[in-house]
Chains A and B, each alone.
Chain A
Amino acid sequence: MSNILIILLGTSILYIFAASRIESYVKTLAFQGLALFFLVIFDLKEINWLNIAFLAIETLLVKAIIIPLFLLRVIRKNEIGREVEPYISQFYSMLIASGIFILGFVAAFWSAKVGAGVKPLYFGVSIVLIIASLFLIVNRKRIITHILCYMILENGIFLLSLSVANEMPMLVNLGVLLDLFVGIYLFVIFFNKIQEMFDGNHIDILTELKD
């Protein structure tokens, strides 16, 4: 079961590479949150129940419902339909995505072979998520897409931390969640301000400050 979920998580990033409607990014984000929720429920047996409960609530409530809904509202309010033409064309991005997947598989095989003490599939896919989201951030121009890709990056890191299954103290989990929450909130505030002041939402308009 958990293997299917992980594969779905990996496929979702391919879908984002192919998609150009911003709303479908948000839906993918919500889907990833849901997949992470089921992973936490099915797979984490060894750590204490309080931590599992916390992680389950975090993934289901925050990652799958609250943040996607919040971002969806922002997108609809600002009437953002599609991503503008990226720096690297769709075709070459897909090629690069395949390259990132190969890298992820290599990492998974390698970690299984040397017995690195991580769950190989989790490890490989989390690396795919992290590198792919960084690539998307560099390649896409809309500020809202940057915020969405930041969330994908966070999902990748969450998956990476699941692959280790070492327990973080509750205080740390709480702090990370709070930072994420406030971070997204501030991102959106600044996004709205940029939309207002600069009359647009591409990063290309942010060129006033330079040497």
Chain B
Amino acid sequence: MIFILLFLPVLLGAIVLLSKSRIITRTSLILLPMVYIAVTISAWSGLNWIILPGWLNIFFKFDPIGILFLAVMSVVFLASSIYSIFYFDEHNCSVQQEAVYTATMFLFVAAMTGVLLSTHLALMWVFVEATTLTSALLIYFEKKKSSLEAAWKYIYICSIGITLAFVGIIILSIGSRSFNSLFFSDLYSHSSEINPFWLQISFAFILVGFGTKVGVAPIHAWLPDAHSEAPSPVSAMLSGTLLNTAFLGLIRVQEIMIDAHREEFSNFLLLVTGFLSLLISAVFMLQIKNYKRMLAYSSIENMGILFIGIALGKPGIFAAMILLAAHSFSKTSLFLTSGNILHHFKTKKIESVHSLLKRDSITGWIWIISLLSISGIPPFPAFIAKFLIAKAFFAAGLGWLSIPFFILLAVIIYGMGNAVFKMSFGENKSEIIESKRLNFSAYTGQVLMLLLLIAIGTNIPETVLNLLKNAASFLN
């Protein structure tokens, strides 16, 4: 099955590029996420209906946490694909452009799948770098001056960051000379044999490297630029899946630290970067002028909370898993909706957008509800996650940290809410606003995301809960 996930995108991408047919491009754009969802569900229920060739079996494996991330990615991928079709129509893309977009997107997804499922640290690195290279092309898709600048900053900063992660991997292999292997299973079972000095240095390097991709402060410089300049469905993929993917890399390395009983060191670093990310996004959120950049800073904030979550031990990790899904789905909905707003108003400036509800009530309401979801208002799952993190602070004996935590969150929610409500309800009397509906593919993805969020938040199915618990038990 892993074989399908890794090679079908490449194959379909080649077909799309060669066929140059609009129907084939769009069909495969919808078909592939469906296949992903189907394969994820069957892997989740323990079915394995295709035997792998032997060598692939060694390097790739389904495990609970990988399946959770894969599930989140597949659903976000579906929503973004549906929206992409609206995006193509709106921008009058040529068949050639559509094919290039689709093929690059498929390669991007294949690279992310490689990160999620690989069992070897260095191989995972290879795929993380591959995600940078493929997504840089997607960021530059609109071929504007600003998107070129964003793409350059993205590809250069992330490549340097990822290179430092490779230094960390080599340093880890210095420390693990006694068993000489970088397979995760070996690293976990022999963790006591790893020289603690080299292990700690290597963790610091890998934190900087993968942290650059996750986009936590102070190495987040590329994130607001790339997220705001990419086409909206690509921004949704970047925020909803790419950041998670790099985060999984860090979780797998954090597991080594925990097994080697060096988690004090790593937890400290994770807490510091987490709070710094909250601080940075709070500061920028108060004076934000561009609504896509606002969403990008919110991603930095949520990644910071995820870092804090995994630094807080068992209860925090479970909360982080809930927040991960909640953030991906809400942010996907927000970024896709930002594409609708861009379509209506032709600007990314917050001050130039007003009366969104009158212009297009569906877009307006999705925009507001998604804001409620990302800010953690009940019944949305982000509420449960943030509540559990507050609890985890006390369980870890760091209760006082929950005070700055909630103050920073409040500032961020105030900044975002202020902008969103001004855009939705604010009125400009001098202008007459005609209401206009968009094609239904401009709403489907977001509605799907919000329904999923409400389902998880109000009545979480037993199987989903088990998936989250299994994923969280990865770090113990």
Contact = CB atoms under 8 A, between A and B. Distances in A.
Interface string A151-180: 001100100110010111101100110110
Find the residue from B59, B160, B163 having the highest chain A CB count within 10 A.
B163
B194 interface: no
A161 B170 contact: yes
Nearest to A205: B149
Contacts of A190: 136, 140, 148, 151-152, 155
A179 B155 contact: no
Interface string B89-106: 000000000000000000
A183 B293 contact: no
B230 to A, nearest CB: 12
Nearest to B123: A172
Nearest to A210: B225
Given A186-B136, A211-B293, A166 B177 contact: yes
B160 A137 contact: yes
Chain A: number of interface residues, binned into ranges: 35 or more
Interface residues of B, number: 45
B224 interface: yes
A179 B225 CA distance: 23
B160 A150 contact: yes
Nearest to B293: A211
Contacts of B126: 172, 175-176, 178-179
A142 interface: no
Contacts of B149: 194, 206, 208-209
Contacts of B129: 179, 183
A186 B133 contact: yes
Contact of B229 (A168, A186, A209): A209
A193 B126 CA distance: 26
B177 A117 contact: yes
Nearest to A198: B145
Given A179-B126, A190-B152, A197 B145 contact: yes
A1 interface: no
B446 interface: no
A4 interface: no
A95 interface: no
B341 to A, nearest CB: 19
B155 A186 contact: yes
Contacts of A178: 126
B174 A117 contact: yes
Interface in B263-297: 284, 287-290, 293
Interface in B135-160: 136-137, 140, 145-146, 148-153, 155-156, 159-160
Contacts of B182: 168
A143 B136 CA distance: 17
Contacts of A197: 145, 148
Interface string B358-398: 00000000000000000000000000000000000000000
B5 interface: no
A43 to B, nearest CB: 17
A146 interface: yes
Contact of A175 (B123, B140, B180): B123
B290 to A, nearest CB: 8
Contacts of A153: 160, 163
Contact of B167 (A117, A160, A183, A187): A160
A167 to B, nearest CB: 7
A172 B287 contact: no
Nearest to A177: B126
Find the residue from A153, A183, A193 having the highest chain B CB count within 10 A.
A183
Contacts of B173: 164, 166
Find the residue from B170, B225, B289 having the highest chain A CB count within 10 A.
B170
A182 interface: yes
Nearest to B137: A186
Interface in A14-43: none
A167 B180 contact: yes
A5 B150 CA distance: 40
A154 B170 CA distance: 13
Contacts of A175: 123, 126-127, 130
A187 B159 CA distance: 10
A52 interface: no
Interface string B173-206: 1100100101000000000000000100000000
Which are the 7 A-B pairs with shortest beta-carbon distances? A175-B126, A179-B129, A172-B122, A209-B225, A166-B173, A206-B149, A117-B177
Given A117-B177, A169-B120, A211-B288, 4 more contacts: A146-B156, A160-B170, A182-B130, A186-B155
26 contacts: A116-B198, A153-B160, A154-B163, A161-B170, A164-B170, A164-B173, A166-B173, A167-B180, A169-B122, A169-B123, A172-B123, A175-B123, A175-B127, A176-B125, A179-B126, A179-B130, A179-B133, A186-B137, A193-B140, A194-B149, A197-B148, A208-B149, A209-B146, A209-B224, A209-B229, A211-B290
